Structure 1
Amino acid sequence: MFSPAVLGPAVEFLAELAGADAALELGIGTGRVALPLSARGVPVHGIDLSEAMLARLRAKPGSERIGVTTGDFARARAPGEFGLVYLVFNTINNLTTQDEQVDCFRNAARHLTPGGHFVIEVGVPALQKLPFGETHVPFDFGAGHVGVDEYDVVDQGLISHHFWKRDGRWNLDSMPFRYVWPSELDLMARLAGMRLVERWEDWERSPFTSTSGEHVSVWRKESG
């Protein structure tokens, strides 16, 4: 996720959309995307709730060019207006209720200038891999890591279980998420005064199809 082959197309895509405008990253974390985007000349501000993540960001070269607001990215207000707001790497799923996800879209719209764009990168729910009546789907099986996703198809809940082998012993880390469908995101955007203008399978603009495992979607804030 940090290699130039992965980051390069994402930064290029976002820089093209931002143009001469400033960009706001929701869930900026350690600056994986914000730092190279800032290095491209795009003014970047970020919102994140984790002080630990922000401390790691501030320790990196180039972070002095990036403004930061500490808070919940679904509700926190950053200073100024932006031509681009973006949320990458499945971070929308960290909001574990539909109301929080709707709030995130509304918060993005509040920060955007008319005609500005909101971009989300997120996986498509992998329910096609789920046998009828089952709730668990393995996604990784290695010598040092085993990953299993646990689905709640009633409430669109997802718990990602990671079994890590450390010092000869297996340890479990589990993280709750809420998966969300592309069409549901489009409705959230409309509730916030935005309309879908692009949807791709990846940052390189591969066509989005019925078998795509993820998508990069772009909504535009309507004028007036």
Structure 2
Amino acid sequence: MEKLLQQWHEVCQDFYQVLALNLPFDGLLCFVTDRNTQTNRYAQVFVNNDSVQEYTAFAYQYDPVHYTHLPQNEASISFLNQYSMNETYLSFLNFFNFQDSAEIITPHQNFQFGISLVRDKLHPLFQSSDYAYLEAIQKLSLHFIGKMELPANNEQAAPALTKKEMMILKMLCMGLSNQEIADQAFCSITTVKTYVSHILYKTECKNRQQLISKYYPVAMKSLH
């Protein structure tokens, strides 16, 4: 995924130069999503890093044009201003002075490639007249995506964990509670929580849900 994101980021940096000449905006966020494991990787071009961290930590779930709220197997172009937003997401936008975004999502094989163009409050909202231009960019992006070196095996590599941590990861993926894990691992719940914290840190996952989504296939395979 990291290599794939790097390739996509380089493409998006080139797109930024072209887009900025014809369609004013303040920043660009690009991302790659593995639809098998529902893992995401983000990279930004002139977007506040704090806003990206806040978005990926919690705000994304309230974003009506986040990829999870859109058709999963279809190319799409969406403007945020065409959707209703709850107070939580409005607060996030206001805090970082964002006003609107245009989302270009292009599926290819088991991945989705996304471009998010962000406008602050100094610029007008995206208009329907912008759609044709963004559609042309989407078609061009598919040309570049087709030339990328996609992973031959779209399965997440096993994380660099100790034998004990891998055992805890397996039990997490099996849906066991902390108490059930403690019983099977012959340790206390406090120890289980410590192991989970170490696993989250080593795998760069924000929470258990992301951890399980990312490593479930690997964990289940290692059970046999």
Pairwise TM-score range, normalised by the shorter structure: under 0.3
Q: Say which one has the larger Rg.
A: 2
Q: TM-score, normalised by structure 2?
A: 0.26
Which is bigger in relative contact order (C-alpha 8 A, separation at least 6)? 2
More helix per residue: 2
